[in-house]
C-alpha cells in the first residue's frame, strides 16, 4: 500500500562537543568524545541502557558542570502553550533526564532568521528541533562545507538500534535522510500512513449534552444521527436562555488554511458507507486515490461517496449542521473548533 513519508530533521550542531544519545548498548570499539566519556565516568550520563530510559542521571549536576543544552524550535502561530510546559516535553525530561533551554522563535520569517544565524555563526543553539515549514533538507544542504552541522550516522549506528533497523529495512528512507556528501545530519521523523493521506483532527461530542438528553456515546452513523436530532430537540442545552444550539459544527472545503483537510468532516465519513476516501491538500494529485486489492482505485466514483453526500444533505436539511458549513473557507476567516459537536 502507498506510504507517505515525511522527514522532519532535528539537527545537532557542532557547537556542543558533549553528545547525548538515546540509551542503548554501544558497539564495542565506539569511541566517545572526551567530554562525553568524562560525563559517563562521573556517572552523570548513562549510554548503555543500564538505567532504563535515563540518560542524564542528575540534570542539575550536569548543567552545573557543562551548562544547559539549548534547543531552538520554530513555533506555529497557533501555539498557546510554551514548549517546556507541554506534557509531552515534560514526559521526555522525566523519562530521560535530558532537559533543554528552549529557544522559541515565531514561524514568520523563521527561515531567514535561521539562515542569518548559520551564516554569522553567532548565538547558535546546541540543536534545532525543527526548521521553517519543513525546510530541513534545504537548510542542511545549503550549510554543507561550513562545518556547522554534526554528522549523526555514528550515533544512529551505535545508540539508536530501532531507528537503525528502520533505515536498514527501508532503503528509500535511508536515501532520503542521507545528504549529498554521504552523511546524515540529525534524526528523521518518519510517518508511514499506508494509504491514509487524510490526517483528521479529533471529532468531539459534548458529554454534558449527552447526559442531558439521556443518550450514550454513539458508535454508528445511525446512532450519531439520533444524537444530533436529540440535541436539536432539547433546546437550550448550554443554558444561555436562547435556543441557539448547533448540533454539529463543522467546515467542508477548508481550502488553503488546512493542508491535509483535517477540518473536512466529509472524507472521514466515507468509510462508514463502504469505501474510505483520501484527500491530501498538500498534494492534490493524490486526492481520491487508494490501493484496493492491489489496484489503484479512484474512490470518488465509489457509491460510498454519493451516500456520504446524501447523508450530510439530510443533516443539513434537518437543520443539524451550521448553515455556512458548505461555504468556501480561506485563510483564518472562520474560527470553528475542529469538527466539534457542541
Of 160, 176, 192, the last residue of a domain is: 176
**Across residues 305-320, what is the average pLDDT?**
93
- Residue 116, C-beta contacts closer than 8 angstroms, at least 6 positions apart: none
What are the backbone angles phi and psi of residue 341, rounded to the nearest 5°? -90, 105
Whether 126 and 255 map to the same domain: the answer is no
Assess if residue 274 is contained within a domain: yes
Per the domain annotation, does 19 fall within a domain? no
CA separation for the pair 296, 289 (Å, rounded): 7
The answer on 244 and 132 residing in a single domain is: no
Residues 222 and 103 in one domain: no
Number of domains in the chain: 2
Q: Are residues 152 and 47 in the same domain?
A: yes
Q: What are the tens digits of pLDDT across the range 145-174?
A: 888 888 999 989 988 899 999 999 999 899
- Cell digits of residue 135: 525546510
Q: Radius of gyration (Cα) for the chain, nearest Å?
A: 25
What is the average pLDDT value for the chain, to the nearest integer?
A: 79
Are residues 158 and 245 both part of a single domain?
Answer: no
Residue 4 has pLDDT above 50, yes or no: no
Reported as a single tens digit per residue, the pLDDT across 221-234 is 999 999 999 999 99
Q: Is 269 strand, coil or helix?
A: helix
334 within a domain of the structure (yes/no): yes
Structural domain contains residue 7? no
pLDDT band at 9 (very low <50, low <70, confident <90, very high): very low
In degrees rounded to 5, what are phi and psi of residue 206? -70, 110
Residues 142 and 265 in one domain: no
Owning domain of residue 312: 204-341
72 lies in the same domain as 144: yes
From 127, 161, 176, the end of a domain falls on 176
Same domain, 121 and 229: no
| Predicted pLDDT at 253 | 62
Same domain, 137 and 215: no
Q: Are residues 264 and 332 in the same domain?
A: yes
Q: What is the pLDDT of residue 259?
A: 44
Q: Assess if residue 185 is contained within a domain.
A: no
Query: 269-282: per-residue pLDDT in tens?
Result: 888 999 888 776 55
* pLDDT over 90 (residue 22): no
CATH number at 272 reads 3.40.190.10
pLDDT of residue 3 exceeding 70, the answer is no
Q: Evaluate the CA torsion angle 91, 96, 100, 104 in order and state its sign.
A: negative
On whether the CB atoms of residues 247 and 341 are closer than 8 A, the answer is yes
Confidence of residue 207 (pLDDT cuts 50, 70, 90): very high
Which range, of 10-24, 118-132, 217-231, averages the lowest pLDDT? 10-24
211 and 324 in a single domain? The answer is: yes
- The predicted pLDDT at position 258 comes to 47
Q: Within a domain: residue 73?
A: yes
Amino acid at each position: 500500500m502507498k506510504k507517505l513519508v515525511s522527514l522532519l530533521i532535528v539537527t545537532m550542531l557542532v557547537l556542543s562537543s558533549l553528545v547525548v544519545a538515546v540509551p542503548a548498548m554501544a558497539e564495542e570499539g565506539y569511541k566517545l568524545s572526551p567530554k562525553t566519556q568524562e560525563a559517563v565516568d562521573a556517572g552523570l550520563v548513562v549510554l548503555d541502557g543500564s538505567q532504563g530510559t535515563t540518560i542524564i542521571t542528575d540534570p542539575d549536576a550536569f548543567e552545573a558542570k557543562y551548562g544547559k543544552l539549548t534547543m531552538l524550535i520554530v513555533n506555529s502561530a497557533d501555539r498557546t502553550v510554551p514548549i517546556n510546559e507541554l506534557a509531552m516535553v515534560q514526559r521526555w525530561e522525566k523519562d530521560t533526564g535530558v532537559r533543554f533551554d528552549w529557544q522559541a522563535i515565531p514561524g514568520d520569517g523563521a527561515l531567514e532568521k535561521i539562515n542569518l544565524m548559520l551564516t554569522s555563526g553567532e548565538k547558535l543553539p546546541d540543536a534545532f528541533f525543527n526548521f521553517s515549514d519543513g525546510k530541513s533538507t534545504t537548510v542542511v544542504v545549503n550549510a554543507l562545507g561550513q562545518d556547522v552541522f554534526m554528522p549523526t550516522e555514528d550515533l544512529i549506528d551505535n545508540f539508536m538500534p530501532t531507528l537503525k533497523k528502520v533505515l536498514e529495512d527501508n532503503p528509500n528512507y535511508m536515501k532520503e535522510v542521507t545528504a549529498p556528501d554521504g552523511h546524515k545530519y540529525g534524526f528523521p521523523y518518519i510517518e508511514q500512513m499506508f494509504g491514509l493521506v487524510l490526517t483528521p483532527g479529533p471529532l468531539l461530542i459534548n458529554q454534558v449534552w449527552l447526559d442531558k438528553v439521556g443518550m450514550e456515546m454513539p458508535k454508528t452513523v445511525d446512532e450519531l444521527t439520533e444524537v444530533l436530532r436529540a440535541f436539536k430537540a432539547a433546546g437550550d442545552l448550554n443554558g444561555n436562555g436562547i435556543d441557539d444550539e448547533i448540533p454539529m459544527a463543522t467546515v467542508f472545503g477548508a481550502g488553503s488554511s488546512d493542508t491535509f483537510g483535517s477540518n473536512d468532516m466529509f472524507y472521514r465519513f466515507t468509510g462508514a458507507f463502504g469505501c474510505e476516501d483520501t484527500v491530501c491538500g498538500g498534494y492534490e494529485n493524490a486526492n481520491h486515490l487508494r490501493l484496493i486489492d492491489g489496484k489503484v482505485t479512484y474512490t470518488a466514483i465509489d457509491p460510498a461517496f454519493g451516500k456520504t453526500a446524501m447523508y450530510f444533505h439530510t443533516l443539513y436539511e434537518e437543520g443539524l449542521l451550521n448553515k455556512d458549513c458548505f461555504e468556501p473557507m480561506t485563510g483564518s476567516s472562520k474560527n470553528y473548533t475542529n469538527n466539534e459537536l457542541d
